[in-house]
């Protein structure tokens, strides 16, 4: 098979669960499309494409940047003929495929509703796919880039506060500018990619700045429980107050919520649960993978390690909940003036997202396939149901229940899986190097 | 005979459809220094990690100090020192901080021993682990495994990245541990000369099975190379009992045999109507012959 096609196919089939979901999605879509063709009902077509979108497109959109990075990183890859050009060709084909499925979905929906076909959403979809791919590519290099997700809207918010006229400017951005910007982003990325001396490997494991460790005095006798916590969290002692730092960022983000595009950043939009899930992803995964270090240091069977890991994960959740509480206070304050119901719904939405993300990481042993697909499916649920025009109490309830139900289900799965956890397959993740030398 | 420190019975480990370990039964007794030898992918790491309970077997059981390896007590775990193939050090710490964390888990951490080894091995403690060379990282990892003077020391490729001087020092340390006959060492290595120097027993892992286990001297006596010189041309098929490999060239032949009994020499010489010289083999030659 042609190298470009082979890499393109790998984007869809790299992970076992991705293959299973994609195969199921394709089979269901074919069946529903055939049913639609026979019966002449558009709804079956649309539903089939929606199934394909959720089961095949979203997981691929989130997994493919990891595959792209993993294939690009080895030095030996650089010796393959026209390697990087072919990799870019495969990515272009991937985006074209994803876009083609979206266009098909969109055209069918428009035909079913018997309305004209606006082109803007296709441009937005292209911009969204571009942003997600590039952003995830950066994220897989180092999960600390998750801060970009929070910092960018915060910066926009500050701009909105300092220069209120900028809001009108943002609103006046023509629709074609988004795909145009996406195209420019691809050109920039391609230019960097073909010239970069080395593409870094996948690095999942965030860690505190070296400075934090330098100031930690570990020379003397260290209490066993502190050492245990440090082993599993890779954090210096006395640094658990990190949530306070997050609260500072929350303030910035909330400024953004108040000043620019308020509906998009409302407390019940997808922004908060998605952001919370992302915040917890890296560290929760890291804790689970570091559990190997506890095995010979904890008494008893695997349950003992599982309990310690779950404690560490819940400490992590506690930090995230503090952040959400801080956000809730700001939303409830006269600054935003959200209703108590909205604040409560927003709090539950994000808190349950934190639990979902945590227990998903907890259950994702030994592989990452479940993690990527579970995350992708939840996002596929959050984004359409919590997008500003469609946000409703019912949708918020559906997502909250799905998050909580998912968390409970993943915990039950984790309890079963941890009894047989195989640390030969679950080694500590590669270390993050974003702040190396700082 | 004393109770075994590690006792594995019919241990089978599957990774999907691949059989990594196939019905392995073995014991580690106090005083044993066992070298584990095998080709890449033979199952050495899987075996060592399964013995320590890191990886649950699909069939069979492992007991360590009489306890189920999958549910060892804190006391039992404290008696084990383990050096994994890939070190699991904190990259962002310096060596001193790392040792402080590891020592926190052991009430009987031998500070004097560790300090002596740090000085002997020139381990840079103030440098960040990230910036250490692979060999320096390995020395630090070995210190973490040795510092509490474990009764069972399991080392997966401990000397792979050490320079010759550090390797010698490390082997000396192994001998020192073995002087105490209550202790046992189990280590894998591709450096056969080191293994030959340090081990008193050998496990040869081949395709997930323990192809040979026993005393190194017994193995050396058991696998020999026979040089046969006959009066007439020898047949292509020599039919030497337990032959691993034979090469016939006219009236001379070379055969490598396992389970050799010196008493068989006269009978064989008579059968081929000639003379027979028995050549002892080094461990590396034996390993190569067993993998033909």
The Cα–Cα gap between A54 and A70 comes to 24
Q: Which residues of B touch A301 (CB under 8 A)?
A: 70-71
Token duo for residue B54: 């890191």
Query: Chain B: which residues have CB within 8 Å of chain A?
Result: 15, 45-46, 49-50, 52-56, 70-75, 77, 80, 82, 86, 88, 90-93, 96-97, 100-105, 128, 130
Q: Do A227 and B91 touch (CB under 8 A)?
A: no
Q: Which residues of A touch B45 (CB under 8 A)?
A: 424
Q: Do B72 and A423 touch (CB under 8 A)?
A: no
Q: Which residues of A touch B104 (CB under 8 A)?
A: 221-224, 226-227
Cβ-Cβ contacts under 8 Å for A44 (sequence gap 6 or more):
A32, A33, A35, A36
Lowest-confidence region among A64-73, A365-374, B122-131:
A365-374
Residue A129, preceding peptide bond in cis (omega within 30° of 0) = no
β-pairing, B201-206 vs B33-38, is parallel
- Does residue A145 contact residue A138 with C-beta atoms inside 8 Å? yes
Q: Which residues of A touch B53 (CB under 8 A)?
A: 295
SS3 state at B116: helix
Give me the DSSP letters along B231-289.
Answer: SSPPPS----TTEEEEEEETTEEEEEESS--TTHHHHHHHHTTEEEEEEE--HHHHHHH
pLDDT at A91: 95
DSSP label of B94:
B
Asked if residue B198 has pLDDT above 50, the reply is yes
Percent of chain A with pLDDT over 90: 23
pLDDT band at A389 (very low <50, low <70, confident <90, very high): low
User: Best residue in B65, B84, B104 to probe A by mutation, most A CBs within 10 Å?
Assistant: B104
Q: Do B105 and A208 touch (CB under 8 A)?
A: no
pLDDT at A149: 66
Query: In chain B, whose CA is at the least distance from the CA of A422?
Result: B55
Sheet holding B243-249, edge to edge: B243-249, B252-257, B224-230, B274-280
β-pairing, B6-15 vs B59-64, is antiparallel
Q: Measuring CA to CA, which residue among A138, A157, A156, A154 is closest to residue A146?
A: A138
User: Best residue in A223, A231, A296, A433 to probe B by mutation, most B CBs within 10 Å?
Assistant: A296
pLDDT at A429: 61
* Residue B280 Ramachandran class (φ > 0 left, ψ -120 to 50 alpha, else beta): beta
Q: Measuring CA to CA, which residue among B227, B288, B219 is closest to residue B258?
A: B219
SS3 state at B109: coil
**Helical spans, DSSP H, in A14-119:** 16-39, 42-52, 58-72, 83-112
Token duo for residue B19: 């059989």
Closest Cβ–Cβ partner in A297, A422, A436 for B130: A436
Q: Which residues of A touch B82 (CB under 8 A)?
A: 296
Task: Indicate the CATH number for domain B6-219.
Answer: 3.40.50.300
Q: What is the mean pLDDT of chain B?
A: 87
- Does residue A166 contact residue A159 with C-beta atoms inside 8 Å? yes
Q: Which residues of B touch A302 (CB under 8 A)?
A: 70
The Cα–Cα gap between A295 and A131 comes to 40
Percent of chain A with pLDDT over 70: 80
pLDDT in tens, A60-94: 888 899 889 988 887 777 777 788 999 999 999 99
Asked if residue A341 has pLDDT above 50, the reply is yes
Query: In chain B, whose CA is at the least distance from the CA of A299?
Result: B74
By the 10 Å C-beta count (0-12 exposed, 13-18 middle, 19+ buried), B267 is classed as exposed
pLDDT at B169: 81
The Cα–Cα gap between B148 and B224 comes to 41
Q: Could you tell me how many CB contacts below 8 A there are between chain A and chain B?
A: 85
pLDDT at A240: 52
Token duo for residue A272: 């908060």
What are the C-alpha distances in Å from A105 to residues A49, A51, A60, A101, A133?
6, 11, 17, 6, 21
β-pairing, B274-280 vs B224-230, is antiparallel
Domain map of chain B by residue range?
6-219, 223-290
User: Best residue in A208, A218, A366 to probe B by mutation, most B CBs within 10 Å?
Assistant: A218
Token duo for residue A311: 């404690």
pLDDT at A349: 95
Q: What are phi and psi of B8, to 5 degrees?
A: -110, 135
Q: Average pLDDT, stretch A273-286? A: 84
Facing residues of B6 across strands? B28, B64
SS3 state at B210: strand
Query: In chain A, whose CA is at the least distance from the CA of B145?
Result: A296
């Amino acid at each position: 098979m042609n190298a470009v096609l082979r890499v393109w196919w790998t984007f869809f089939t790299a992970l076992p669960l991705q293959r299973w979901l994609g195969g199921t999605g394709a089979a269901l879509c074919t069946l529903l499309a055939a049913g639609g063709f026979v019966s002449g009902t558009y709804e079956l077509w649309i539903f089939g494409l929606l199934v394909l979108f959720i089961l095949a497109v979203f997981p691929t959109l989130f997994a493919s940047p990891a595959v792209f990075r993993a294939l690009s990183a080895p030095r030996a890859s650089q010796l393959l003929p026209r390697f990087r050009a072919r990799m870019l060709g495969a990515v272009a084909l991937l985006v074209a495929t994803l876009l083609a499925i979206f266009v098909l979905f969109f055209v069918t929906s428009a035909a079913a509703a018997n309305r004209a076909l606006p082109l803007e959403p296709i441009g937005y979809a292209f911009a969204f796919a571009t942003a997600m791919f590039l952003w995830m590519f950066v994220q897989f290099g180092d999960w600390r880039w998750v801060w970009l997700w929070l910092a960018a809207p915060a910066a926009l918010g500050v701009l909105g506060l300092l220069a209120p006229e900028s809001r009108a400017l943002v609103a006046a951005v023509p629709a074609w500018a988004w795909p145009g910007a996406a195209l420019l982003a691809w050109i920039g990325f391609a230019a960097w990619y073909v010239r970069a001396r080395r593409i870094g490997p996948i690095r999942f494991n965030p860690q505190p700045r070296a400075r934090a460790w330098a100031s930690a005095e570990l020379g003397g006798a260290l209490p066993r429980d502190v050492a245990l916590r440090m082993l599993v969290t890779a954090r210096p002692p006395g640094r658990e107050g990190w949530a306070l730092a997050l609260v500072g960022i929350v303030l910035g983000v909330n400024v953004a919520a108040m000043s620019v595009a308020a509906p998009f950043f409302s407390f019940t939009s997808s922004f908060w649960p998605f952001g919370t899930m992302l915040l917890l992803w890296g560290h929760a995964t890291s804790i689970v993978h570091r559990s190997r270090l506890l095995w010979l240091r904890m008494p008893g069977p695997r349950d003992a390690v599982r309990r310690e890991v779950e404690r560490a994960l819940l400490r992590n959740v506690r930090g995230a909940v503090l952040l959400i509480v801080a956000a809730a206070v700001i939303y409830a304050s006269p600054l935003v003036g959200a209703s108590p119901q909205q604040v409560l719904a927003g709090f539950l939405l994000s808190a349950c997202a934190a639990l979902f993300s945590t227990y998903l990481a907890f259950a994702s042993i030994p592989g990452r396939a479940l993690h990527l697909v579970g995350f992708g499916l939840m996002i596929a649920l959050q984004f359409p149901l919590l997008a500003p025009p469609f946000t409703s109490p019912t949708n918020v309830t559906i997502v909250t229940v799905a998050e909580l139900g998912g968390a409970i289900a993943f915990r039950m799965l984790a309890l079963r899986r941890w009894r047989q956890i195989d640390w030969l397959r679950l080694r500590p993740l590669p270390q993050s190097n974003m702040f190396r030398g700082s | 005979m004393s109770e075994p420190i590690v006792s594995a019975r019919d241990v089978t480990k599957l990774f999907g459809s691949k059989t990594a370990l196939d019905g392995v039964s073995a014991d580690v007794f106090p005083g044993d220094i066992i070298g584990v030898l095998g080709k890449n992918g033979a199952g050495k790491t899987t075996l060592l990690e399964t013995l320590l309970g890191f990886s649950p077997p699909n069939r069979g059981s492992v007991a360590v100090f009489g306890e189920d390896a999958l549910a060892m007590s804190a006391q039992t775990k404290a008696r084990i020192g383990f050096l994994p193939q890939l070190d699991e050090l904190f990259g962002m710490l310096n060596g001193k901080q790392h040792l402080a964390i590891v020592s926190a888990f052991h009430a009987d951490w031998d500070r004097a021993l560790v300090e002596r080894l740090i000085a002997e091995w020139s381990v840079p403690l103030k440098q960040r682990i990230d910036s250490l060379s692979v060999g320096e990282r390995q020395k630090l990892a070995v210190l973490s495994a040795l510092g509490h003077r474990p009764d069972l020391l399991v080392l997966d490729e401990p000397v792979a990245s050490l320079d010759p001087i550090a390797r010698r020092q490390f082997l000396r340390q192994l001998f020192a541990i073995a002087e105490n006959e209550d202790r046992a060492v189990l280590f894998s290595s591709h450096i056969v000369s080191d293994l030959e120097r340090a081990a008193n027993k050998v496990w040869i892992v081949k395709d997930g099975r323990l192809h040979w286990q026993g005393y190194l001297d017994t193995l050396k006596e058991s696998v020999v190379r026979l040089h046969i010189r006959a009066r007439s041309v020898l047949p292509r098929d020599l039919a030497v009992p337990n032959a691993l490999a034979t090469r016939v060239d006219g009236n001379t032949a070379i055969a490598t045999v396992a389970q050799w009994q010196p008493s068989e020499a006269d009978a064989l010489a008579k059968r081929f109507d000639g003379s027979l010289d028995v050549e002892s083999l080094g461990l590396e030659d034996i390993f190569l012959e067993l993998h033909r």
